[in-house]
């Protein structure tokens, strides 16, 4: 188990250094003495046996999660003096834990028998493999460096004002808000890293933002959608209230004669509700959208950087999407972590799995958990516990139990997931065990733009959001509106030959493949040269069609029809209304995409203050919840770009309220 650690050095590693060859570096004639103060032939307690090396600095490269990872190791005659990862293309953010921790542990304990970091196992193993190679290059014996390090005993008790279960986006948001309110905080994290599913998400954030949206043109299609929503008969008082306010705003907009995009928290709320098949609870949705822009500005105040543009993220349905400067959602997670480092009353406990909520006199007072070695650990909460453990899209058993049906008949193990391995619905099970109400548990979302082999979406080249690509099937034909709902696109793809699609782009979008990157941060050129994600590039559309095995005539007709609608601005036969970028100029790019289990919209029932509700509808004292562990917000289809808003807004509310007890 590890407790809170300084991340300044870790965060400095975010940008990969220049590539290095898999060969010994220039050796040194003299090397510094080893850090451990021990005679050359003696073995300090808890460390590996003394070893003999050819002094110098060596490099080796091994295969990481996404490509080559290069390590540089420096040796004296009898010690490993320094280990450093000097080049890698691993996932931004979560890879920094093993990149920092494993080399430090190897040097400190003089052993290769250090633990991998749970949640980043492939990167961890790549580092160890490369260091082993360096040991061999230095004339050492890796087999003689296998003594397990001596570790400190695992603490068995923690006490704080607020105990947060889960160190993903919602948990970190809640921790910042609670610490900001003066509460002491303990975060219990199952993995060896922070961020959870949030750190591998696409990093898009929806909020009505008049300043950035002033550059976007209002279209007839958007007007018609708003007017149709205003014409609906209200189903309850909240619906009527939102409609009335939206009508007033829209009337004022029309009277102004503006040609720029109209938007507001009320329109965002209605569009979220309608886009979720009217299943979500409007009061929860309205709280989400009303606090979206303020939540974004809150995180920006911690150092989060967004691009100076607005767009329409995949499945977001409207141009209100903000894009991060850093890959994925790492920009927000990094800002959360760095801000937490400014507080002295926040502790993070890693690789510890919460398994039970403690109830005393009808109130939640803490959490029982198990450390990595099985040690039982108790976390006592003076004020409250916050559940922020995420959803269950990666838990095959749970998604089949709750979500299989007419809409999704097969959610079994053959379906990939975008989720990290540690997020398996634990908080939902714990809450249910003490009588919490579960809501919308049958609702699950599949993400349509993932790698058919891995389920990863971040290797996709969609730098210009939905506006910059089309999808075609194996016959070279378009078959769905690419700017539509994620569930509808996923179902359409699954109905095509082979159950996958080709995402087509051109040099009109990928203008500089040597610098433009995927969401994960690798350049397009890197993806092509390493044959990742089935990337294909061709100078002409005809050559591309031949390379990916689709009829050229059909593909050319699909491009021509799409471009004609961009020129006219009129919706096409599939209903696509986002018609911004023509695809005309080679080279052309294609890569395969298929659906994967992505987000569960069901979970623990909460109110707008994030109190967890019982099956009887009453508040369970001492228990709050935020993020994907909750249900009732996104309904039958979550709009792309709303998940990050969810964990920022509701995590903030949960942390502030839990701090008050």
pLDDT in tens, 634-645: 999 999 999 999
CATH class held by domain 446-596: alpha beta
Residue 465: the pLDDT is: 58
What is the average per-residue pLDDT within 496-505? 95
Alpha carbon distance 343, 491 (integer Å):
47
pLDDT of the residue at 92: 73
pLDDT tens string 617-629? 999 999 999 999 9
- Measured between alpha carbons, how far is residue 583 from residues 105, 221, 365, 513, 555 in Å? 51, 22, 58, 16, 12
CB 107 within 8 A of CB 82: yes
Mind listing the pLDDT tens digit for each residue in 41-60?
A: 334 444 444 568 999 999 99
Q: What is the mean pLDDT of residues 91-95?
A: 80
Lowest mean pLDDT among 63-72, 207-216, 338-347, 650-659: 63-72
Res. 3: pLDDT tops 70: no
pLDDT, average across residues 170-177: 98
Contact yes or no for 91/420 (Cβ under 8 A):
no
Question: Could you tell me which of 479, 482, 476, 492 has the C-alpha nearest to residue 547?
Answer: 476
Residues facing 85 on adjacent strands = 71
Where are the domains positioned within the chain?
8-144, 157-443+601-660, 446-596
Catalytic residue among 281, 320, 486, 638: 486
pLDDT > 50? residue 241:
yes
User: Are the C-beta atoms of 372 and 354 separated by less than 8 Å?
Assistant: no
Question: For the residues 79-97, what does the mean pLDDT come to?
Answer: 89
- N-to-C CA span, the chain: 28
pLDDT score for 454: 86
Which has more confidence, 3 or 188?
188
d(CA 253, CA 605) in angstroms, rounded, equals 37
pLDDT for 466 equals 65
Judged against a pLDDT cut of 90, whether residue 359 lies above it is answered with yes
**8-144: CATH class:** alpha beta
Interacting residues of 176 by C-beta distance below 8 A, sequence separation 6+:
302, 336, 339, 340, 652, 655
CA-wise closest residue to 499 among 445, 547, 441, 453: 453
Poorest-pLDDT segment among 8-17, 75-84, 177-186: 8-17
Strands 56-63 and 68-75: antiparallel
| 314 confidence band (pLDDT: 50, 70, 90) | confident
* Closest C-alpha to 192, from 121, 109, 126: 121
Superfamily in which the 157-443+601-660 domain is placed by CATH: FAD/NAD(P)-binding domain (3.50.50.60)
CA dist., res. 378 & res. 357, Å (int): 10
Residues 5-32 pLDDT 10s: 334 333 333 333 223 323 333 222 232 3
Take residue 347 and report the two structure tokens written for it: 């502790």
* CA-to-CA separations, 254 to 207, 227, 474, 557, in angstroms, rounded: 21, 12, 45, 38
Q: Across residues 514-527, what is the average pLDDT?
A: 82
Q: What is the mean pLDDT of the chain?
A: 90
Residue 516's pLDDT band, with cuts at 50, 70 and 90, is confident
* pLDDT at position 462: 55
> For position 144, what pLDDT does the model report?
93
Q: Which residues contact 424 (CB under 8 A, 6 or more apart)?
A: 392, 394, 395, 398
Q: How confident is the model at residue 171 (pLDDT cuts 50, 70, 90)?
A: very high
Q: According to the model, what pLDDT value does residue 10 have? A: 36
Helix (H) or strand (E) holding 334: helix 330-340
pLDDT of the residue at 4: 41
Residue 164 has pLDDT above 70, yes or no: yes
Q: For 451-477, what is the mean pLDDT?
A: 81
Mean pLDDT of 177-205: 93
**Which one is predicted more confidently, 326 or 650?**
650
Q: What pLDDT was estimated at residue 50?
A: 53
Tens digits of residue pLDDT in 111-131: 999 999 988 999 999 999 999
Cβ contact 97:122 at 8 Å: no
265-275 vs 282-290: helix crossing angle, rounded to 10: 140
Residue 578: CB partners within 8 Å, gap ≥ 6?
Answer: 312, 319, 466, 467, 482, 483
Active site residue 486: yes
Give the pLDDT of residue 300. Answer: 98
Query: How many CB atoms lie under 10 A from the CB of residue 161?
Result: 21
pLDDT (mean) for 244-258: 97
Q: What is the DSSP letter of 638?
A: P
Question: Average pLDDT, stretch 289-310?
Answer: 97
Q: Can you tell me the mean pLDDT for 334-349?
A: 97
Per residue in 147-162, pLDDT (tens digit) is: 998 888 889 999 999 9
Cα separation values, 127 from 49, 84, 199, 620, Å: 21, 9, 21, 46
């Amino acid at each position: 188990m590890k407790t809170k650690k300084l991340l300044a050095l870790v965060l400095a590693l975010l940008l990969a250094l220049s590539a290095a060859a898999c060969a010994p570096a220039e050796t040194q004639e003299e090397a510094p003495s080893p850090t451990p103060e021990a005679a050359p032939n003696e073995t300090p307690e808890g460390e590996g046996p003394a070893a003999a090396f050819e002094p110098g600095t060596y490099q080796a490269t091994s295969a990481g999660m996404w490509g080559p990872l290069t390590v540089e190791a420096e040796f004296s005659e009898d010690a490993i003096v320094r280990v450093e990862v000097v080049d890698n293309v691993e996932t931004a953010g979560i890879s920094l834990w093993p990149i920092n921790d494993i080399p430090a542990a190897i040097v400190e304990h003089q052993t290769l028998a250090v633990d991998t970091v749970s949640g980043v196992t492939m990167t961890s193993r790549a580092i160890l493999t490369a260091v082993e190679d360096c040991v061999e290059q230095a004339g050492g014996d890796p087999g003689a460096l296998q003594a397990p390090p001596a570790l400190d005993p695992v603490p068995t008790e923690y006490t704080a004002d607020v105990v947060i279960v889960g160190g993903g986006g919602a948990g970190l948001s809640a921790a910042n808000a609670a610490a900001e309110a003066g509460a002491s905080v303990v975060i219990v994290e199952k993995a060896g890293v922070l961020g959870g599913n949030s750190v591998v998400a696409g990093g898009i954030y929806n909020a009505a933002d008049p300043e950035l949206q002033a550059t976007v043109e209002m279209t007839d299609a958007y007007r018609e959608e708003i007017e149709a929503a205003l014409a609906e008969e209200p189903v309850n008082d909240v619906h009527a209230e939102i409609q009335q306010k939206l009508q007033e705003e829209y009337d004022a907009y029309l009277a102004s004669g503006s040609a720029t995009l109209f938007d507001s928290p009320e329109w965002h709320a209605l569009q979220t509700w309608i886009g979720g098949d009217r299943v979500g609870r409007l009061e929860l949705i309205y709280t989400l959208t009303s606090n979206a822009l303020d939540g974004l500005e809150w995180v920006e105040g911690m150092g989060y950087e967004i691009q100076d543009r607005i767009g329409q993220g995949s499945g977001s349905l409207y141009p209100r999407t903000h894009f991060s400067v850093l890959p994925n959602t790492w920009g927000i997670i990094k800002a959360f972590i760095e801000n937490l480092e400014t507080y002295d009353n926040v502790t993070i406990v890693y690789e510890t799995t919460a398994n039970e909520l403690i109830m005393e006199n009808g109130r939640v007072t803490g959490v029982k958990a198990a450390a990595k070695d099985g040690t039982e650990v108790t976390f006592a909460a003076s004020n409250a516990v916050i559940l922020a453990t995420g959803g269950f899209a990666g838990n095959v058993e749970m998604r089949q139990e709750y979500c299989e049906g007419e809409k999704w008949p097969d959610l079994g193990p053959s379906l990939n997931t975008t989720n990290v391995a540690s997020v398996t619905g634990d908080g939902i099970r714990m809450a249910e065990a003490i009588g919490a109400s579960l809501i919308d548990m049958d609702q699950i979302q599949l993400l349509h733009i993932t790698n058919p082999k891995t389920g990863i979406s971040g290797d996709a080249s969609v730098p210009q959001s939905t506006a910059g690509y089309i999808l075609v099937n194996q016959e070279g034909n378009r078959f769905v509106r690419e700017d539509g709902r994620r569930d509808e696109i996923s179902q359409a793809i699954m109905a095509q030959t082979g159950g996958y699609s080709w995402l087509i782009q051109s040099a009109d979008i990928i203008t500089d493949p040597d610098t433009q990157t995927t969401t994960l941060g690798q350049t397009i050129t890197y993806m092509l040269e390493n044959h990742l994600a089935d990337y294909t590039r061709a100078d002409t559309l005809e050559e591309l069609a031949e390379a990916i095995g689709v009829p050229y005539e059909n593909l050319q007709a699909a491009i021509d029809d799409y471009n004609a609608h961009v020129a006219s601005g009129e919706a096409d036969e599939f209903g696509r209304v986002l018609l911004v970028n023509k695809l005309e100029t080679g080279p052309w790019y294609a890569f395969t995409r298929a659906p994967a289990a992505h987000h569960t919209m069901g979970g623990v029932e909460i109110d707008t203050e994030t109190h967890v509700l019982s099956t009887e509808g009453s508040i369970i004292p001492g228990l709050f919840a935020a993020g994907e562990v909750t249900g009732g917000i996104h309904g039958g289809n979550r709009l792309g770009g709303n998940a990050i808003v969810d964990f920022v807004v509701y995590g903030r509310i949960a942390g502030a309220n839990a701090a008050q007890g």
